[in-house]
Amino acid sequence: MSAAPGRPKQTRTAALQGEGSPVNTAPLSVEQIPAGVVTLADHEAHARTRLDDNAWAYFSGGAGDEFTLRANCSAWNERLLNPRVLQPLAGGHTRVKLLGRTLAHPVLLAPVAYQRMAHAGGEVASAYAAAALGAGMVLSTQASFPLETVADAIAADPIRGPLWFQLYIQPDRGFTRELVQRAERAGYEALVLTVDAPTSGARDRERRTNFHLPAHISAVNLAGMAAPAQRTLQPGQSALFDDLLATAPTWEDVAWLQSITRLPVVLKGVLHPDDARQAAALGVGGVIVSNHGGRTLDTLPATASVLPRIVQAVAGELPVLVDGGIRRGTDILKAMALGASAVLVGRPYLYGLANAGALGVAHVLRLLRDELEIAMALCGCRTLAQAGPHLLFRPD
């Protein structure tokens, strides 16, 4: 793949330091982790000082009263670890296998739209960081950099994790097909179909701030797509159900997507066991237990609570990933003990991006990796293959 016009090729170290690339907009020549930032919670607190009210409402807000947003984090905290002592730990590691690849650790960057609102480097900076730390990355359909530019930035990196493309099926199925073909040509290794957001949630924070995209930021990968024809509604018809959702995707569209691509299709947003079983019956590549970070429908259960049911429903037929509320390495270990194949993080790395560009994202990933190793060692767990329900404390 050729380099994107106007963006010089550079080493991974230079990219992380913000040298000679769009990932550096700080007043210092080299971006640094802010003093005192040593946890993901610290990154969040500092990012609030870096993001304006408009961007903060978009990235941090949830739907409705944000019950699910809060529950995602608290549900992991409520699960307690049950360590073993004096276990052999020499040769331990965090490696896992996922969709035919061996990953250095089970952490992927979840799809987050419009990352240039947080930092000029946007998704390119996040991709550099993911590659440097061996993490997987899922690029959003609504990325603020072209999907080809992001893929090209890390294509030659020998230690990078998998690069997946998150997809919203568009009303124009022909445009969707072209988008899939672009992702295939660019070297993406899987399609992550978001299935839990046929419409946006009622996000009160965004409404209070009158959220709007800055003039220089857009969903560039959707450029050129024709606007759907507006339907004439009859009296009593709904503008949502009878117009906007008239072409909403169904299970038939999942099968159609599988028929037009050679890439595995992973369904993101599965919470019901019956949906998990239907996904397995279709032979999808995997499912992601997700409530969209609490951004779509409020009062959904926390993903930590749903994960065991989905794992049981698919009975090992396909990988089960989980996102939502992961803030510590202990959360990752708990997810693996509950049967997850890997986890995704969203808001935490966005906060790192806002704080220090690619270096901030890398710092978030490093913290999670280090904390995971510590948690494993202190639980007597040498590899993640040894993680299971026995690692979780159950009171009598």
pLDDT digits (tens, 9 = 90+) for 177-199: 999 999 999 999 999 999 997 77
- Is 345 within 8 Å of 326 (Cβ atoms)? yes
Q: Could you tell me which residues come within 8 angstroms of residue 59 by beta carbon, excluding any fewer than 6 positions away?
A: 51, 112, 117, 118, 347, 350, 351
Domain locations in the chain? 40-203+247-387
Torsion sign over Cα 171, 293, 322, 355: positive
Distance of CA 287 to the CA centre of its chain: 13
Report pLDDT for 10: 42
One DSSP character per residue, 123-148 reads HHHHHHHHHHTT-EEEE-TT-SS-HH
Report pLDDT for 30: 65
Task: Mark the ranges of the chain whose per-residue pLDDT is less than 70.
Answer: 1-30, 237-246
R_g of the chain computed on alpha carbons: 21
The CA distance from 45 to 39, in Å, is 10
pLDDT digits (tens, 9 = 90+) for 360-396: 999 999 999 999 999 999 999 999 999 999 999 998 7
Is the domain spanning 40-203+247-387 CATH 1.10.645.10? The answer is: no
* Catalytic residue ranges: 292
